[in-house]
Amino acid sequence: MTARRLLLLGAPGAGKGTQAERLVRKLGIPQISTGDMLRAAVAAGTEVGKGARAAMDRGELVSDEIVIGVAEERLSQDDARGGFVLDGFPRTDAQARALDAMLERMGTPLERCVALEVDTDELVRRLLKRAGIEGRSDDNEETIRNRMRVYRDQTAPLVAYYRERGLLREVEAAGPVEEIEKRIEEALS
């Protein structure tokens, strides 16, 4: 694998977090998950967290301004200079353009976007299972269905955006975790 500045793109439940963890161990670079950072802010009760919580509880996206600010702060840290795996950011065209500009300023442009492709019924099944295991309040069936609509409307168009830039690799993300990991490694080579 030669690419070290990576973006994992996919619907909620596609396995971005699971595969990001595997890439992080293999490449020795940090996973940058805006979802995790926002949930931490919610748990800590920060102002960012309060604003994020209302949107997350409705299954909506947190505002671009908040997400971009959190991401820029994290990508500026020393451990991200040698590479990173973005998980859950960007989610909108505006965020993608802001990310490109931010990374260009930092001299660390994105090298590859891996789109994890999974059937919608499988995604819903995965998310309901995860909700039961983790007790996540943002994963009930109504919210999951709304998140799928939001993804389809706002985030799925990023596949075309990164394809046009020559950075996209699409990977079938159904099946055993290890097989998906191998497909991703092949896509990054």
Q: What is the CA radius of gyration of the chain?
A: 16
For the stretch 7-34, pLDDT in tens is: 999 998 999 989 999 999 999 999 998 8
Domain spans of the chain, in order of start? 5-182
Q: Hey, which residues are catalytic here?
A: 16, 91, 130, 136, 147
**110 confidence band (pLDDT: 50, 70, 90):** very high
Question: What kind and span of H or E run contains 169?
Answer: strand 168-172
Assigned fold of 5-182: Rossmann fold (3.40.50)
Total-model pTM: 0.83
Q: Which two tokens mark 142?
A: 């109504």
Q: Which two tokens mark 8?
A: 């994992």
pLDDT at 41 over 80: no
